[in-house]
Chain A
Amino acid sequence: MANISTSSLAAFFKRPAAAAVCAFGLLAGPPLWSAAPGFYPDDPIWTDDDRAFDASKVVAIEDTNGYDFVVNTFSDTGERRDVRALNVNTVDEVPDSSWFTNRIGRRDMTVADVVKGPDRVERVSLDGWVVSAGKSTGVQPGFRMTDPGGQLHQIEVDPPPNPELASSAEIIGTAFYHAIGYNTVEVHLADIDRAALVISERATIRDPLNGKRRPLKTLDLDAVFERAARRPDGRYRVLVSRFASGKPLGNFRYYGTRPDDPNDIVLHEHRRELRGARVFGAWLNHDDSRGINSLDMLETSNGRGWIKHYMFDFGSILGSATIFGQRDRAGYEYIFEHRAGWLTLATLGLYVRPWMLVDYPDVPRSVGKFEADAFDPLKWKPEYPNPAFDNMRPDDAFWAARIVARFTDAMIGAVVQKAQYSDPRATQFMTQALITRRDKVLAAWLNQVCPAVDPVLASDGALTFTNAAVTARAATPAESYQLQWFRFDNATATRTPVADGETVSTPTGRAPAGLLNSGEYVGVEVTARHSQYPGWAKPAAFFFRRGPAGWTLVGVERG
């Protein structure tokens, strides 16, 4: 073994070349052979540990309506880049996190599971509850009540011309968004006898006339019920929303990250579940999907604070604009639509915007303004630009559409039943409209990429997969599939094609002889041919890793 003397080292450091080597080592980065591999041993991960660091010092971000509208309408918020969603795992799925929990997309849910949503109890009784505060935010009239256990709830009423409108939208929206995987607050329907309400001595309200907090008066409740739909029996149907646990931190934004939350490392506009929310928004006409209709709560577990991100306030989805039926424009145009506005101005109003010609059906007023026939998912828009929606790519939309496809007719019908429309025609119409809109969503977004999914590579080299669009009855079977196998070098993340491509007429194939003995990773690139769907020709690549039990899917790249 060589012995290196101190004098030798001293001489070594006197050499310019040696000093340069050290400097290069400092500046140039890690050696090439230590570059991040294509796949880590724990890929694909299904849980993103975004509670790892203490976030208890995070300060609230509470955007206002005006600010959110202005910055998103007149500036390019967030990073607009055609890049794959940054929080997907290697199989192109969203791991569970403080934002999203895989529910119907990855596990079987019964109709009852979907209907139950986030509810802890089947129904609530307001016996023994007291009015504990006024409601000073949002347009929907309401107040707050505290149950005998001290839990705070928000109580909201429906507008007199449209009984059951907003509360139904909230019930339906909560159930769907929860089953999809978002965090939602628990909501229930209840009846209130106005005369039986008791106001807590400590109840306060932010005076609607001057913004100052003062004691809550009976007159404040009168003002709420003056704007409430009353049942024939004199009682009021109300929506009861259980306050989420934890400390309120305002809302999240559909762009950027919280600079003081160490766990928030993915730009929100590049989060798959926020990009894909555009698909759910289109299906359910959640045109109010914006930052200020979200909620961040600081929760504590294992001695650390972490932020749980909620979607909430679904009172303005479907045909509801909360205090009246939706506007005709809802879902078709932004509030400030540049081109259409200028055209209208230039033509003195002779330019007719397409949504002005939509023939909304004559339905019970509890439904509001909602329809499915003119609905075009690809053209659907929220109230104003949403940077995550703008960044949605076909693979994001495909991910979301597959979740939508999991909702059966029975589930949709049962969720609508939960809204307890008093008019059966409302239930029937809403159910059918959501089924029709679902089918349109699937047809639009399951066919923009190659819909090959769920590949299985058997030990003997047999490959099977399914076609998500065909399964969802959103397309007829492919005319053919093209399979291109490859070896994958995980260290350098490079593919090497093997043999010529194989054309098959069914979603099956077989790995070329010898490929499966050649390394730890292999893969196959699948494209499909269908005269109606050119997007099927965009390849879907599947990566498999050899394991003790055979080949395991570790990677999916689509589009």
Chain B
Amino acid sequence: MTRRRIEITVMLLMWLAAASVAFPQEPGTRAQADRQRREEKNRNAKPYEPNGFERAMHFVEERGMFIGGREGLYPKLGSLATGSGFAYGAGYRDRDLFDNTGILDVWAATSTRLYWATEARLTFPKLANKRLMVETWAAHRDYPQEDFFGLGPDSARANQTSYAIRSDLFGARAGVRPLPLVMAGGGLEYLNPRLGEGKDSRVPSIGTLFTPSTAPGLGESVDYLRSMAFFEVDYRQPKNPRRGGWYRVDFSRYDDRTTGRYTFNRVDTDLRQFVGFLAGRRVIAARLFVSTSDTGAGQVMPFYAMPTLGGNDSLRGFREYRFRGPHAILTQTEYRYEIWSGLDGALFYDAGKVADARSDLNFKDLESDYGFGFRFNTDNAIVFRVDAGFGSRDGKHLYIVFGGIF
């Protein structure tokens, strides 16, 4: 019996001993209990290690953010012209020249449709206490497959052709701001557009369907001295507007310095109004664009300098450059609604036409379309958008665009 008691006692003692080894002494106070927990963590402390996503976000926000707008060498991405396809290239930028007043931007880029361009531009945007802007540029453009369907409102989609155009451009302009929201100015530009056979293998080249009489300027090499003036009022708020307006008139005189037969004047008027409601998260945006031109006696306006309609930024139910003529009118209306911060939806209606005579610049017989879209944006710009156009006689069109609309 005694032996049995001894064994039981030993078992209990061993149990206690084993438990004591496995678990530290029970704390007698709250402070001791907390200290034990900290001792335990101290034994197992390990450095924080960011995960892959965290490292990636660090890179994007601390380094990648600078890539697009970086000083020095930078990648040139986007588009070169309507219908050029996605463009890519490289540039060099210096934004603190001449005591931080001058910006030099030099770039060269090509695109998926084999457009290419290069440009050097020196800008002084805020001279005279921000009241004066001056810039000068030299550029080369080589666009191998621009669309041409013929002139006038009755051009046929079946007559789609393409042409190549390349040009050197040298110019300068200046603008003054008499008021913070107003700018007026003018400038000069020399350009030497040269036409060639279109390189779009899907459609014939322009020369197979059109002649100099149906496509004025075709086959001619003309150098121009363009003199220009402009007046602009901008009170959009913000620049990706929720309210306000933007009104601009551009006057250009193209002086034919080669043949003397293609001198003309062109005036573009672009009026944009934005009305926001429901805290500015719903916006009605309206645009009226009118372009008109005139020539002197015996002069002709070349087709490639005429205003065009059709494409992602005008009549979105039609192909790029679907309509072309010496005069044009375009109205666009959009209802924009914010879905989330940074993403807007849009419903739009476009109507417009080109005209052979100024007297036909009215709201009769307009080509029209409607559609919807989505815009990834910031307060100051649309970064990327998708627009789907319907309701035109040319069928449906989907546009995916790096950049904004009016």
**Which residues does A use to contact B, with CB under 8 Å?**
2, 4, 8-9, 12, 17-18, 21-31, 34, 36, 40-43, 45, 48-50, 52-53, 57, 59, 61, 63-67, 70-71, 89-90, 207, 209-211, 217, 219, 222, 258-265, 328-329, 335-337, 341, 344-345, 348-349, 352-353, 355-358
Contacts and interface: CB of A to CB of B under 8 A. Distances in A.
Contact of B38 (A25, A209, A263): A263
A9 B10 contact: yes
A40 B337 contact: no
Given A49-B31, A336-B341, A337-B340, A259 B60 contact: no
A349 B345 contact: yes
> Per DSSP, are chain B's interface residues mostly helix, strand or loop, or mixed?
helix
B35 A49 contact: yes
Given A59-B47, A260-B45, 10 more contacts: A8-B3, A24-B15, A25-B22, A29-B19, A30-B19, A34-B26, A71-B53, A209-B71, A219-B99, A219-B100
Interface string B341-370: 100010100000000000000000000000
A420 to B, nearest CB: 28
Contacts of A71: 53
A336 B345 contact: no
B41 to A, nearest CB: 5
Contacts of A259: 45-48
| Top-10 shortest CB links A-B | A349-B337, A25-B18, A262-B42, A328-B279, A67-B57, A209-B71, A25-B15, A356-B278, A219-B100, A40-B30
Contacts of A328: 279-281
B11 A21 contact: yes
Contact of A26 (B9, B22, B34, B66): B22
B10 A12 contact: yes
* Interface SS of chain A: loop
Q: Which one of B9, B19, B39, B71 has the greatest number of beta carbons of chain A within 10 Å?
A: B19
B243 to A, nearest CB: 13
B34 A40 contact: no
A334 to B, nearest CB: 9
B212 interface: no
Interface residues of B, number: 65
Interface string B14-50: 1111110111001111110111011101100111100
A482 B45 CA distance: 48
A41 B341 CA distance: 54
7 contacts: A18-B14, A27-B22, A52-B38, A64-B62, A262-B41, A264-B41, A265-B38
Contacts of B347: 348
B95 interface: yes
Given A49-B34, A207-B71, A335-B341, A67 B54 contact: yes
Given A43-B30, A59-B47, A355-B279, A348 B37 contact: no
B58 interface: yes
B63 interface: yes
A260 B58 contact: no
A355 B278 CA distance: 9
A544 to B, nearest CB: 17
